[in-house]
Structure 1
């Protein structure tokens, strides 16, 4: 017969073991992607490096891509959040510099690998858009919508177009390796875009 205290501690210990395994799997998947790219990374390699069985991975994720997507989401979660100080330009700069910083960081190479792989894989493209891109586009649209209500940007603009104008140049540099995305680039983007966005 167990005491009440013993009953309460059994589940948390199991939870801690599960969380350690989950984090080891995510870290291993991201590390392997950084070393050799997404295409060459396998579930077998992830399991071996994480010290777990393949069945453990498949119990929690349907594929290696799902593991990498979850890892990228966790890495980018706070770096790409939108502040709301009441100044749309300042808030966009804070968030966009965060995006530029992570896209130029070697630790986020798996994210760029996902974008490349999605070009030839419609299922991956849908998963990538739904899990990583669309929530952040929605957050950008919402922040811009509030700025429009406050009279900080024109009311007649298409917010999807504005999001593409703001972030397209950053992704262009990151994906084509023309130049690294920088805070200075963000400042220039905002200067040019807000020349057209400012209310008359």
Structure 2
């Protein structure tokens, strides 16, 4: 039942957008009663956040460092860019947009998703940098480098609405590695 509701929410958001996605529509698509949904979730934002959290664990996971640092970072950025094109990435985009207008959504998104994803990003980048430099990087350095790593891809997709090309991914990876060494 839970998975049916999460999938229904993803599908409806992609098909008709955030505003048109309703609890009633999600219930109908999932084949459950509206009351059943309200036992588990307070709002469509809560449903979409749960769907995003589940999907991002796999979709935004960091692979174990295996190649050159540039290749490892480029590969991860490729995964991030691809995630934004998937239904889960469209959920993230919708929640980010709604968070600009709704304080409760902003808080929930930060506390339930962004904080945990940030920790995964810091850990993933730290592993690559440690493998590259043979020493653990300073946490404050990695924190700033995560911004440098993800900023260009996020800006290109979220602000410009433009595709991400391989040149941007490689240049970003190199830019992150330069101060780390």
TM range (shorter): 0.7 to 0.9
The separation in 2 between residues aligned to 1:174 and 1:139, in whole angstroms, is: 21
Q: 1:127 to 1:50 in 2, by over 3 A?
A: same
Report the alpha carbon displacement of residue 185 of structure 1 after superposing the two structures with TM.
2.3
Instruction: Indicate yes or no: 2:84 matched with 1:100.
Output: no
Instruction: Give 5+ residue unaligned stretches, structure 1.
Output: 1-20
Give the match for residue 76 of structure 1: 56
Instruction: Indicate yes or no: 2:23 matched with 1:43.
Output: yes
Give the match for residue 179 of structure 1: 162
Moved more, 112-121 or 101-110: 101-110
The separation in 1 between residues aligned to 2:75 and 2:129, in whole angstroms, is: 19
TM-score (norm 2): 0.84
Q: 1:136 to 1:107 in 2, by over 3 A?
A: closer
Q: 1:161 to 1:55 in 2, by over 3 A?
A: same
Of 117, 124, 128, the match for 2:98 = 117
Which secondary structure state, in structure 2, belongs to the residue aligned with residue 77 of structure 1? helix
Contact 1:37 1:110 (C-alpha < 8 Å) held by counterparts: no
Q: 1:111 to 1:144 in 2, by over 3 A?
A: closer
Moved over 6 A (4+): none
Contact 2:55 2:88 (C-alpha < 8 Å) held by counterparts: no
Contact 1:34 1:107 (C-alpha < 8 Å) held by counterparts: no
Instruction: Give 5+ residue unaligned stretches, structure 2.
Output: none
Give the match for residue 188 of structure 1: 171
